[in-house]
Copies of this chain bind each other. A is one copy, B any other.
Amino acid sequence: MDLNAQVKKAGFLQRLKEFPSKLKEGVIKRIKNVQKFGKDDPRRIIHSLKVGLSLTLVSMLYYVRPLYNSFGVSGMWAILTVVVVSEFTVGGTLSKGLNRGFATLIAGALGVGAVHLARFCGDKGEPIVLGIFVFSLGAAATFSRFFPRIKQRYDYGALIFILTFSMVAVSGYRTDEILVMAYQRLSTILIGGTICILVSIFVFPVWAGEDLHKMVANNIIKLANSLEGFEGEYFPSSDKTSKETNSCVQQYKSILTSKSTEDTLANLARWEPGHGRFRLRHPWTKYLKIAGLVRQCAFHLEILNGYVLSDVKIPQDFISKIQEPCSIMSREAGEALKAIAKSIKTMKRDNVSVNKHIEKSQNAIQTLRIALKTSSPETDKDLLEIIPGVTMASILIEIVNYVEKISEAVEEFSGLAHFKETPDPKVSPELGQHQLLHRGSVKPVLEGDNEEENNSSPHVVINVHDEQLPTTNEKKVAGVEKTRVDVV
């Protein structure tokens, strides 16, 4: 018993001794985690400091005597605005700031009107009339927030409308200085909103549009990596190690559910002014079209991945027959995607190399068809065994076709987004003009929904590529056949 107590005591003392070092370890681990999290995207740290800066700036309304004399306690509306409006992206801040500003203006005016109207109804009638106003406008504005169009762009505005109208109308019952109150509220909100927007735009800005642009390009690269990794995974005879490629193959997974992020970014990007390489009316919605095609491709990869993971054994002689064309297909489609992603990232057209890879992958489809023809199964059992292989090849063909669709969508987009033309050294403009006359039907890439931008661009340069046309399989390569004439 005594011994037991001694042992317990020793254990307790031991733990007590260890406690500081364990605490230290835990704290250090936490700090390292936070540091790593900040390093992953340093813009997070910068954003946090920006919010601190805005808060400090707006506090001046209290600290500086002359400012405090003119605004008084209304200064807290400015603080509130800064905290609520400070969003990570410029688009988010602008959207919230403008929504808040305009909604306060409209609701404030309506609120003052409602108070004046209610005063006609006598002492007893006033709260009833005000109550009816607040109830009906509050309910109506809440209902409007369900409409998708309003929800998408003016949700915050509707919220602030209800807020401001209720506040002005209700407090109008108790104060006669309603106009002063409304004015102070509006002016402090404008000050807070302006500080936020200025800090957001001029101190290390984070543009939602640029994020969307990079995200779409990166998703295409992920797709390319998955496709290229797939080859090593499905045909493990190649020299890459399996583990290495498996991480590549899984990269497409995040694309499957990235739609909501893309929609949000495109929505915020529309609020942003022109910046860097992006003009004011940059075709943001076109990114969603490209992203949709990329996601379709990812769906196919998800199914394909199921075949990689499945334990079904396919006869080796069949695999060896389709391996060559399948490898080429996935590799070249991957290369084409990488060229497309590079073209988006640099905002320079690069049809030549994109089409070269697409053409190669399309040729591989033909080779695959021939290989399949010659590998007609000899026995009944064979057909059953090659079904997974045939399915895999079939889905791979679909993916190559989708890569071509992506290339076409990016081609269309690059015109709208004013991508730079990579000059083709082989062609002189005169020669191009000459060929043009002989080609017959000429159709500029730009048309339809970008008429304004088309008119506003000062120079229309007609540039004709002199690619080596594919000798075989011409009809398949739609991307090469079309868009021979580009308008910059």
Residues of A within 8 A of B (CB): 37-38, 44-45, 47-49, 51-53, 55-56, 59, 62-63, 68, 73, 75-76, 79-80, 83-84, 86, 127, 130-131, 134-136, 138-140, 142-143, 146-147, 159, 162-163, 166-167, 170-171, 173-174, 256-257, 259-260, 296, 299-300, 302-303, 306, 369, 372-377, 379-384, 387-388, 390-391, 393-395, 398
Contact = CB atoms under 8 A, between A and B. Distances in A.
B303 A142 contact: no
Question: Quick one: which of A83, A372, A374 has the most chain B CB within 10 A?
Answer: A83
9 contacts: A48-B142, A52-B134, A52-B139, A55-B138, A75-B171, A76-B170, A79-B170, A259-B260, A376-B377
A303 to B, nearest CB: 5
Contact of A51 (B127, B131, B138, B391): B138
Contact of A76 (B75, B127, B171, B382): B171
Contact of A83 (B136, B166, B384, B388): B166
A369 B384 contact: yes
A185 to B, nearest CB: 10
**Which 6 A-B pairs have CB atoms at the shortest separation, nearest pair first?**
A52-B139, A48-B143, A391-B394, A52-B135, A260-B260, A48-B139
Nearest to A62: B170
A380 B370 CA distance: 10
Contact of A140 (B48, B379, B381, B393): B48
B130 A59 contact: yes
B303 A395 contact: yes
Given A47-B142, A372-B384, 17 more contacts: A51-B139, A52-B135, A52-B138, A59-B134, A59-B170, A62-B174, A63-B127, A73-B171, A73-B174, A75-B170, A257-B259, A300-B303, A303-B398, A372-B387, A374-B380, A377-B383, A390-B390
A58 to B, nearest CB: 8
Contacts of A380: 373-374, 376
